[in-house]
Each structure stands twice: as structure tokens, then as C-alpha cells.
Amino acid sequence: YSIGFINSDEPDYKSNTAFASVSQSMFGDLTTVSFGFSRGWDKVGEVDHGIFQKYVGDADHRTWSVGLSQVLTRNMLLGLNFETDENSGYLRSPYRGVRFVDPSSARGYSFGQANTPGTRTGNAASAQLKYYLPWHAAADGSYRFYNDTWGIQANTIKLGYTQPIWGSLTLDAMARYYWQTHATFYSDLFPFENAQNFESRDRELAQFHSLTFGLGASYEFHPAWPRFIERGSLNLYVQRMRIDYQDFHNNLLSNPIPGDEPLYSINASVMQFFISLWY
């Protein structure tokens, strides 16, 4: 079992999360069942040019999870997981409003304040299969399905490969594809101001798909000094990501017809480097 507490403090977001989990091995350690619960209390604020402006609301989170790990053969491992999360309170970004048609505006549209439901419940189920190859390598694949009460459905497919080299060096490669539908109250351009009770133009609630490729290397070492350090590792990971939105337009590019601007997309490279020590 394990228990813990995480605190995060940012200029516009303060988060406190407590969590606990327990696992039990059965049938000669061939089967492992785990249960987990976490509870979060967040305070949401708003900043302007890095200066805190105002407190806008609280957000509470509860998550329940159950998992099953099963050894199928001496080289194959299956993992199954199910998770339910409940959220309530201030669940939107204070920086992202809505856009609506406005004939009185020179550009043909104006911006207003977003309004999202005060509750959100989501469910996620996933399966992972890992296979150990004869040349001391491993290949894995996973699939995850998610849906929630905001109308979003999401699918994730991930493939990975791990290859040790010379005993101390391990190389990793991965590919991940994700796609989701938009929330029921999302729109890039509403027909008029206050067109419906709940409105949002948050691009994270839009319909989009993303593709990510990653490469990583980890080098393990055993320092002679200081003696209380048993081992350490140098880790480098590089990822290339592209996100394409299907119904979120880039209004920063002017167009005579509102809502007919080019679709928004993101290309990003992410690099991580860190050192781990065991003592």
C-alpha cells in the first residue's frame, strides 16, 4: 500500500491532492489486483502580466481506480485498468472565453465569457500488453478509451519498444496517436451572444487528433563516492508532437468570413534531461 500528499502552488492555481492505493498479489504472484483513490482541492485564480489579479473559484476532484496485472506466459504480461473521476466547482479556464457573430463589429465577431457545467464525471478503461523478446528487449502496446458527461469521447493508441545495450545503456522508442470528439457545448463561433446556457471555445474541448513520436536513452552508473548512493542514471528523452484541430479556427489570421479562418494546429518538440539517484 502507499499513501501520499502533493501540493502545487502557482500564481493563479493552488492544488492539494491526497492519495492512497493498495495492491495484492495472488496465485503465486501471477495475478496482482490494485485499488486507488485520490482527493483534490484546488483554488483557481487569474493573473495579468504575471501579477495575481483575483480569485475566481474552487475545484474539487475525486478519482477511483482499479487495476489487474496478469502474467499470461513467461514472456507476456497483460494489464487492465478502469478509472472514474468526479469533478465539481470551477472547471473552466478563466483565460478562454467564447466567440460569437456580431454584425456591429468590424471583424464580424466579438468575444464573451464562457460558462461550463459545475460538475463533470469521466470514465476511462485501458488495456496494455507487454512482450519480452528473446534478445533482452521488450515491446508493448496499449489502448485507452475515455468518455465523460460533457460529451467528450477519446481514444489513445500507444506502441513502445525498449532495447538494453551493453548492460548500462537502455534505449526507448514510442509512438502515440490520440483523437477526441468535442464537448456538447463547444463551438468555435456561436451564432449570437448568449446563444445557449453553457458555452465554451476552449480548444481542449474541441475535436482534434494528435500524433507523438519519442526517443529516449538512459545510462545507469554506480558511483564510488559518496558511498550511500547505490546507483544513478542519466536520462534523456525527446518527443515530437503534432496536434490538428478539426473545429477550432485560428482567428489571429484575418479572414473576411468569421469562422472560415484556417484550422489551428500545433507542432512542438519536447526534451527532458534528468539525473536519478538511489540510496
Who has greater pLDDT, 152 or 52? Answer: 152
Tell me the average pLDDT across 58-73.
Answer: 97
Q: What is the rounded distance in angstroms from the CA atom of residue 190 to the CA atom of residue 187?
A: 6
Question: Which strands form 119-133's sheet, in the order they lie side by side?
Answer: 2-10, 13-26, 31-48, 51-73, 76-89, 119-133, 137-148, 153-165, 169-180, 208-221, 231-249, 263-278
Cα 232 to Cα 227, 228, 229, 239, distances in angstroms: 12, 11, 8, 23
The per-residue pLDDT for 49 is 62
Judge whether residue 96 has pLDDT over 80. yes
The per-residue pLDDT for 58 is 96
The per-residue pLDDT for 167 is 84
Tell me the average pLDDT across 111-120.
Answer: 96
The three cell numbers locating residue 234: 542519466
Judge whether residue 171 has pLDDT over 90. yes
The per-residue pLDDT for 50 is 64
Judge whether residue 188 has pLDDT over 70. yes
Tell me the average pLDDT across 140-147.
Answer: 98
Judge whether residue 115 has pLDDT over 80. yes
In the chain, % of residues over pLDDT 70: 99
209, β-bridge pairs: 179, 244
Judge whether residue 261 has pLDDT over 90. yes
Q: What is the mean pLDDT of the chain?
A: 95
pTM here? 0.91
Q: Residue 52's pLDDT band (boundaries 50, 70, 90)?
A: low
Q: Which of 19-23, 52-56, 111-115, 189-193 has the lowest mean pLDDT?
A: 52-56
